[in-house]
């Protein structure tokens, strides 16, 4: 008959995922005629647990290449965009003993979906998207069956030294075996 033991271990106790689309307004120094390109770079972020959610806070740079002066000249403008995404957690185990760590993985780096000149013609509107997956590592209990009559047999591990291993030894390795 097997007995049971409760073991306290670290495990993923909660997960969350969030996809976000957002619009940002970039203000160039000259009125844009058309958008030639837009991209997002320099993404940094950090995640921290807050109650039953994880807050992912970060920022990235939006670069817009545009034409101006009736499409006769081009320029690039840059805008640093901060954000905070609040991700709801779904707990697998309600009896978590202690939340220890938050792991955050970017499923989709922030990228530009669309960039257009604003209706009044003096700004650029950028539509961006990003997606995160978070996991909370915590202490929890698991129940395992164990057999108290189990006898460990060291011979099963084959820890004996083989004759072939002795042949591989270098006898010159020994120091001080001969005196001169």
CA 131 centroid distance within chain: 11
**3-class secondary structure for 72-126?**
CEEEEEEEEEEEEEEEECEECCCCCCEEEEEEEEEEEEEEEEEEEECCCCCCEEE
Q: Assess if residue 175 is contained within a domain.
A: no
How far apart are alpha carbons 133 and 54 in whole angstroms?
10
How far apart are alpha carbons 141 and 161 in whole angstroms?
40
Of residues 119 and 167, which shows the higher confidence score? Answer: 119
CB of 34 closer than 8 Å to CB of 67: yes
DSSP annotation string for 29-74? SS-EEEEEEEEEEEEEEEEEEETTEEEEEEEEEEEEEEEETTTTEE
Q: Assess if residue 8 is contained within a domain.
A: yes
Averaged confidence pLDDT in the chain: 87
- Token pair 């509107």 is found at 125
CA 142 centroid distance within chain: 26
Q: Assess if residue 53 is contained within a domain.
A: yes
Q: Is the pLDDT of residue 168 over 80?
A: no
Q: Assess if residue 155 is contained within a domain.
A: no
Nearest alpha-carbon partner for 118 in 20, 34, 21, 29:
34
Domain extent, residue 84, equals: 3-146
Q: Assess if residue 13 is contained within a domain.
A: yes
Average pLDDT over residues 33-58: 95
| DSSP class of 166 | H
How far apart are alpha carbons 164 and 168 in whole angstroms?
7
Q: Of all residues in the chain, what percent carry a pLDDT higher than 70?
A: 84
Whole-model pTM?
A: 0.74
Q: Assess if residue 151 is contained within a domain.
A: no
Average pLDDT over residues 77-103: 87
Count: domains in the chain: 1
Q: Assess if residue 63 is contained within a domain.
A: yes
Q: Assess if residue 178 is contained within a domain.
A: no
How much is the pLDDT for 2?
65
- What does the pLDDT look like over 98-152, one tens digit per residue? 767 999 999 999 999 999 999 999 999 999 999 999 999 988 888 888 877 777 6
Where does the pLDDT of residue 159 fall: very low under 50, low under 70, confident under 90, or very high at 90 and above? low
Q: Is the pLDDT of residue 86 over 70?
A: yes
């Amino acid at each position: 008959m097997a007995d049971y033991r409760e073991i306290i271990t670290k495990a993923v106790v909660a997960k969350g995922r969030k996809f976000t689309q957002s619009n940002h307004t970039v203000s160039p120094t000259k009125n844009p005629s058309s958008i030639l390109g837009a991209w997002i770079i320099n993404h940094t972020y950090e995640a921290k647990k807050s109650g039953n959610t994880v807050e992912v806070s970060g920022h990235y740079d939006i670069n817009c290449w545009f034409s101006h002066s009736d499409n006769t000249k081009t320029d690039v403008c840059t805008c640093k965009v901060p954000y905070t995404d609040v991700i709801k957690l779904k707990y697998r185990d309600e009896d978590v003993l202690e939340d220890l760590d938050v792991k955050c993985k970017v499923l989709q780096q922030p990228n530009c979906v669309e960039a257009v000149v604003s209706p009044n013609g003096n700004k650029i509107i950028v539509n961006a998207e990003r997606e995160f997956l978070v996991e909370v590592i915590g202490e929890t209990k698991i129940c395992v069956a164990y057999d108290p009559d189990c006898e460990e047999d060291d011979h099963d591990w084959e820890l004996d030294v083989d004759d072939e291993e002795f042949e591989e030894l270098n006898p010159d390795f020994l120091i001080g075996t001969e005196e001169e």
